[in-house]
Amino acid sequence: MENLELKLLEELSKLEQFGLKNPVDAKAFWKEWQSVFTKVKLSQIAIRTLLETKDLDREEVIYLKQKMNLLRDIETYLKELKEVALQVKGYTLFSPEESEEGNDGDDLDDFLF
């Protein structure tokens, strides 16, 4: 069990580079958010590029796919923080899924009236 806790601490320390330190209502939040989000997106692009090469062995492909899944989780976390920060500023975002739930097929009427 102690070995598992050490592995967990190691994983957490690797993830700290993606954690945002500034509060969502601070101006510095957006600069930090953009920096971390860019790092995640560029990492995803790099992984996709590597996966498209045929020079990788099976273990490397598995490792890169696991990294890609981790980066997707981090991207989701960052997008959730962005939504919270926008809500704090008074903006409300609607996801496409939410707008489809109440869709009666007559969007123009809903928009105009």
- Give the containing element (helix H, strand E) for 99: helix 96-101
Within 13 Å and on the Cβ side, how many CA atoms surround 79? 11
pTM higher than 0.85: no
pLDDT value at 37 more than 90: yes
The closest alpha carbon to 40, from 67, 11, 10, belongs to: 67
Report the alpha-carbon angle 57-13-30, nearest 5: 100
Tell me, what's the pLDDT at 113?
42
| Cα–Cα distance for residue pair 46/95, rounded to 1 Å | 28
Tell me, what's the pLDDT at 112?
45
The tokens describing 32, both together, are: 């930090």
Any idea which residue has 């790092």 for tokens? 39
The residue ranges of every structural domain in the chain are: 24-95
pLDDT tens digits, 62-92: 999 999 999 999 999 999 999 999 999 888 7
Question: Which of the residue ranges 1-5, 57-61, 92-96 would you say has the lowest mean pLDDT?
Answer: 92-96
